[in-house]
Structure 1
Amino acid sequence: MRDIWEEQLKWIESGEPFVLARVIQTWRSAPRKSGAGMLIGKGMRVAGSVSGGCIEGAVIEEALDALESGESRRLSFGVEDDLALSVGLSCGGEVSVLLEKHWAFSADPNTTKVWDTLQNCISNNKPAILISALPHENGSSTEDQAILLILPDGENVGSIQNNHEEAVALAEEAYKERENRIVELGGKEYFIQVFPRRDLLLIIGAGHITIPLVGFAKELDFHTIVIDPRGVFATPERFAVPPDQLISKWPDDVLPELPLNEDTYAILLTHDPKIDDPALHILLKNNLPYIGALGSSRTHAKRCARLEEAGFDAATIAQIKGPAGADIGAQTAAEIALSMIAEVVAAKHGKL
């Protein structure tokens, strides 16, 4: 739902209730993944997508009815269904969609508290797991659906009537695998949606490649932090798309204060051992999913030799992808940046 997050907040601020549609399950070649969201309001007001266009017409019609009745609805579309064929789901996939009046407008204080806490988590880049009760297949319900939010510190907001401990365990398993899923508890189905931290891209060096790299990263919803002690480069005016943070300090003064975890990716671009090497000494101790460094094979060999002299073993040094970037024959700054962000995305999805 991150792609409609800002739009969602604007709609809430307007004070006019609307329906949130979420993809809760897909099969085969469905065009949108589980968790994709769409907003539907009166007057055919729409934002986001649950299918890339295939079933939107039918979803909007059902959503407007749900908004009027106050019911939550669970819709299923498959290529063999008459309804699916009539709305154009010809991709061979199947999709289930949950429609519900947005939680911000619920009369249930439990639901609004869940929403307020989820909003706070996402605004502050903190992880959360949401458990929603589901109506029966192709059925409806007058119950509030967003009922339990699980936070990483062990705090739970909201409640679930039965099997609470099992629900928490299943939610934590889903978060670990970064996978939304439908589960059954006490004879009732629930949708678990995970909200991981926003991925962080650390860029050491604010040279010419960094400018398009930040643009690509922001388009892909990475939180971007650029660190460069050289004031002539670390100026916001140079960026067509500004990073979230531009820090004109030495990396080894900044990195210890930043979250270096499984959601953090790093690229070093200065070509200067005085800047890159101290950063690598810190990054290599934190088991990041991706560390890339600019430079030729010869430059990288020298870098590895320096790290070995500093006491790092071969397995640790091998974490560095050097030269960084997928092999696409890149020559220009934009092409090199594209090759690098492609490699980061591959690492994110376990394809590197």
Structure 2
Amino acid sequence: MSQLTAPVVWSPATREHDPRHEIWVGVATQGTEVATRVDVILQALRDAGHRLVEAPGHGDDVLRQVHDGELLEFLATAAERWAAGPYAELVGQDRVVPYLFPTPAMTAGLPVRRPVSVHADAGRFAYDTMTLVGPGTWEAARAAVDCALEAAALVGAGERLAYALCRPPGHHATPAGFGGSCYLNNAAVAAEALRGQGHERVAVVDIDAHQGNGTAAIFYDRADVLYGSVHVDPGAGWFPHVVGYADETGVGPGVGATRNVPLAAGTGDGPWLAAVGDLAAWVAQAGCTALVVSLGVDAAADDPESPLLVTHDGYRGAGTVLGHTGLPSVVVQEGGYHLPSLGTLVAAYLDGHADGLS
């Protein structure tokens, strides 16, 4: 293992979110984004010699630069509103599930009012039926933001590498919406915090199996935060389906500051690592002075969500490649759902990143 170790920023409150199940094509299926993820990652990183740091509370200033206030208000109050309604008694549902989505297909140019019922209001913010809100969801998501902010603060104080054990993950959360098992965008918060420390240009490199549509959307019209992602091709039927294509490169001042590298399902270490290397070179050439890594390990072969075939060595190699940028780095946990291998995959990546920085 590398001599360089990383502070592992975590919070016990990230265990509070319990999705229980997801609604996929109308059917309740077992949730995979479970609290045990926190414990297996903690154990693996403790065993690898990294030091644990419990995240203190941080204010909302940076969070409100990333997300609209109405989304934050909804997430903070939705579970209580749902519990006060008739849903558990009438249909046995104790989690917030959207009932309708007020898209242009529904409203068709008519004036749109705020729904009174929480089951209708949920569709203003949720963009899928899989990302349920329950007791503890807000507390866990907000604690994950604190982990990201503390990791950024540690890097600002001189750490070369800090890891934020964020759970639930965040890269699918958009400025005013949540979905894809994500509620608040931890990576975007970390990038914004680094910008606030004086870094003129920050890069976010996303190696989760799926494109981080939320992070891409937050920074799509900005030149001061680059977003690069290597992910399974949405054009082949993979989440997020409608975005994440190679021709999406930003708008306005952000033209050229977004890069998507879609890969075919079944792609293994070689092409995947080459894509990570291309993104690392792009970041270095763009003059970025700090790096955020959205570390999803759901591209691993054993992962239940995996369309790709990345190995432990592949993740270690990705860490080495991104560490070689030499940039002070915040690594933010995204996906990864195969509990027997989850912790060792994260440890492999951090070991590689530390080696790259050494």
TM-score normalized with structure 1 length? 0.25
Relative contact order, higher structure (CA 8 A, sep 6+): 2
User: Which structure's residues are more often strand, by fraction?
Assistant: 1
